[in-house]
C-alpha cells in the first residue's frame, strides 16, 4: 500500500496541471486582494477573509478535476493494467488514490488558508478576527465555515469519484464532475421549497450540501432544512462514505 501511495504522489507532483492549478489559485487570491485595494467600496476585507479570497471555492474546483481524472486517466491510458498485473488488489489501488486525494485536499486548503491570513495581514494589519458576528465571533465563524466546506467537499467529491468510474475519457469525467457540481448546488437550494411541503425529503443527499451554510447560519437554515446541525453533519459524512463505497464497487467491477 505504501508503494502505491508513493506512486500516486509521484504522479500528482510531476503532473503539470497540479502546479498550474496551484499557481492559478494563489494568483486569483492575490488578484482579489489587489482589487480590494483599487476598489475598496466593492468588497470588504471581512467578506474577502470569510470567503478566503475565493480560495475555498477554487480548492473545490481543483479537487473536482483531480478526483475525476485520478480514476479516468488510468483507464484512458491503460495504466490500470500495469498496476493490476503487479499483483495489487483493486481495493489497494482505490484506497491509495483516496489517500492521495485527501492529502491533496488538505494541502490545498492549508495553502488557501495561509494566503487568507497573509493577505488579510497585508490589507488590514489591525483586522480584528475576534470581532462579534451575531452571537459568535468572526474567528469562530471562519473555522466553522472551513469545517462546513470540508463536509460539502467530502460529499461532492465522493459523487465525482463515482462518476469517474463510469467514464473512460479524462475530459468527460471532469466535465461530468463540474456539471454535477452546479446541478447539485441548484437542486439543493430548490429542495428547500419542497421540504417545506414534504418534510421527509430533508433526508436526501442534496439537502446535505447546505451543511456548510447551516453551520454558520444555523438560526436561518435549520428551520428551512428541518434538520439539527449535528444530525445534518453526520448525514453528510454518512452519504460521503456511501457514495465512496459505491464508487469502489463500480471501480472493482469495471473491465480493463
Task: Dump pLDDT digits (tens) for 70-123.
Answer: 887 766 656 666 666 566 677 888 899 999 999 999 999 999 999 999 999 998
Torsion (CA) 35, 38, 41, 45 in degrees, nearest 10 = 50
Give a yes or no: residue 203 inside a domain. Answer: yes
Whether 132 maps to a domain, the answer reads no
Q: State the CB neighbour count (10 A cutoff) for residue 29.
A: 23
| In contact, 164 and 67? CB cutoff 8 Å | yes
Q: Crossing angle, helix 90-123 and helix 2-13, to 10 degrees?
A: 50
- CA angle in degrees (0–180, nearest 5) for 29-163-81: 105
Q: Which pLDDT belongs to residue 183?
A: 77
Kindly state the average pLDDT of the residues 150-179: 83
114-143 tens-digit pLDDT: 999 999 999 889 988 988 887 789 999 999
Give how many domains the chain has, as a whole number.
1
CA dihedral in degrees (188, 190, 196, 199; nearest 10)?
A: -40
Q: Which residues span the domain enclosing 167?
A: 2-125+140-253
Regarding pTM above 0.85, the answer is yes
Instruction: Answer whether 46's CB lies under 8 Å from 23's CB.
Output: no
Calculate the average pLDDT of the chain: 86
15 in any annotated domain: yes
Amino acid at each position: 500500500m505504501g508503494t502505491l501511495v508513493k506512486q500516486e504522489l509521484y504522479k500528482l507532483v510531476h503532473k503539470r496541471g497540479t502546479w498550474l492549478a496551484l499557481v492559478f489559485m494563489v494568483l486569483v487570491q492575490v488578484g482579489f486582494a489587489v482589487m480590494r485595494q483599487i476598489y475598496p467600496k466593492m468588497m470588504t476585507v471581512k467578506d474577502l477573509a470569510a470567503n478566503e479570497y475565493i480560495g475555498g471555492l477554487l480548492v473545490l474546483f481543483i479537487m473536482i478535476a483531480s478526483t475525476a481524472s485520478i480514476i479516468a486517466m488510468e483507464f484512458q491510458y491503460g495504466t490500470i493494467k500495469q498496476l493490476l498485473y503487479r499483483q495489487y488488489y483493486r481495493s489497494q489501488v482505490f484506497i491509495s488514490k483516496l489517500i492521495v486525494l485527501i492529502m491533496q485536499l488538505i494541502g490545498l486548503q492549508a495553502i488557501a488558508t495561509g494566503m487568507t491570513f497573509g493577505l488579510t495581514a497585508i490589507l488590514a494589519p489591525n483586522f480584528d478576527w475576534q470581532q462579534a458576528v451575531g452571537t459568535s465571533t468572526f474567528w469562530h465563524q471562519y473555522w466553522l465555515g472551513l469545517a462546513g466546506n470540508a463536509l460539502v467537499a467530502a460529499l461532492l467529491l465522493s459523487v465525482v469519484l463515482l462518476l469517474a468510474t463510469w467514464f473512460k475519457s479524462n475530459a468527460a469525467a471532469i466535465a461530468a464532475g463540474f456539471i454535477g457540481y452546479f446541478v447539485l448546488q441548484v437542486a439543493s437550494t430548490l429542495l428547500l421549497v419542497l421540504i417545506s411541503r414534504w418534510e421527509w425529503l430533508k433526508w436526501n443527499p442534496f439537502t446535505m450540501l447546505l451543511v456548510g451554510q447551516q453551520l454558520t447560519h444555523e438560526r436561518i437554515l435549520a428551520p428551512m432544512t428541518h434538520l439539527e446541525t449535528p444530525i445534518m453533519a453526520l448525514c453528510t459524512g454518512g452519504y460521503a462514505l456511501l457514495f465512496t463505497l459505491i464508487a469502489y464497487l463500480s471501480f472493482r467491477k469495471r473491465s480493463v
